[in-house]
Structure 1
Amino acid sequence: MGKEKTHINIVVIGHVDSGKSTTTGHLIYKCGGIDKRTIEKFEKEAAEMGKGSFKYAWVLDKLKAERERGITIDISLWKLETSKYYQWTRRQLELARSPSLPRKLRRLNEYHPQYLPPQS
């Protein structure tokens, strides 16, 4: 039996347009969570839309509206495994200031209840 791996949870938060999606996507790429060919595809598609610098953000920004507008609309989770660690990358963007906060919290609770405290 192999050595048990350490689990790491990463949460990325920050101000609007501070590069949360780009940083997270780049981290996933550097850790081997997505291949170079996919990043090159995102780079080409982003350049065609005049958003060439968004290639790493598109790792997590999957919705058409997110890509067209250059904003994150939905919560994203990404699990990746390295030779040493298992990592869950969780990105919640502008959650505290979002006008749709209750909807996002309900969705998070529905799909990933372990991330929220129990409701009384």
Structure 2
Amino acid sequence: MGKEKTHINIVVIGHVDSGKSTTTGHLIYKCGGIDKRTIEKFEKEAAEMGKGSFKYAWVLDKLKAERERGITIDISLWKFETSKYYVTIIDAPGHRDFIKNMITGTS
């Protein structure tokens, strides 16, 4: 029987517009947590809204308002596994108007 995978829990917090969602979405993609086809779909949709650079952020920013405004409003949780780890990532909003959502989501 093989060794069980280690669980890694990550919460990404920081200032508004510091690239939390983009970095987190890119990490998920690079670790194999989302496929290239989906990223290409997000890239096309984001470009149609004039936000082509937001393709990785859209992995986690699902709400229409988040995509239109280009900010995270509510926490987003993503789970995936690699060959060695089970990973859970929480992307938290950075805008001061949504601090309550960040605190609730990370507790």
Shift in Å, 1:115:
18
Q: TM-score, normalised by structure 2?
A: 0.79
Relative to structure 1, is the Cα distance of residues 113 and 18 closer, same or farther in structure 2, using a 3 angstrom cutoff?
closer
Shift in Å, 1:44:
0.5
Relative to structure 1, is the Cα distance of residues 43 and 113 closer, same or farther in structure 2, using a 3 angstrom cutoff?
closer
Shift in Å, 1:74:
1.0
Structure 1 portions without partners, runs of 5+:
87-111
Q: TM-score, normalised by structure 1?
A: 0.70
User: Where does residue 16 of structure 2 map in the other structure?
Assistant: 16
SS across alignment from 1:80: strand
Residues 57-103 of structure 1: per-residue CA shift (max 9 Å, x gap): 000000111101101111111111000001xxxxxxxxxxxxxxxxx
Distance between the aligned counterparts of 2:69 and 2:81, measured in 1? 31
Structure 2 portions without partners, runs of 5+:
87-94, 100-106
Relative to structure 1, is the Cα distance of residues 35 and 16 closer, same or farther in structure 2, using a 3 angstrom cutoff?
same
Relative to structure 1, is the Cα distance of residues 9 and 64 closer, same or farther in structure 2, using a 3 angstrom cutoff?
same
Distance between the aligned counterparts of 1:13 and 1:39, measured in 2? 23
Which fold has the larger relative contact order, with Cα–Cα distance below 8 Å and residues 6 or more apart in sequence?
Answer: 2
Which 4+ stretches in 1 moved above 2 angstroms? 112-116
Does the CA-based 8 Å contact 2:44-2:52 persist in structure 1? yes
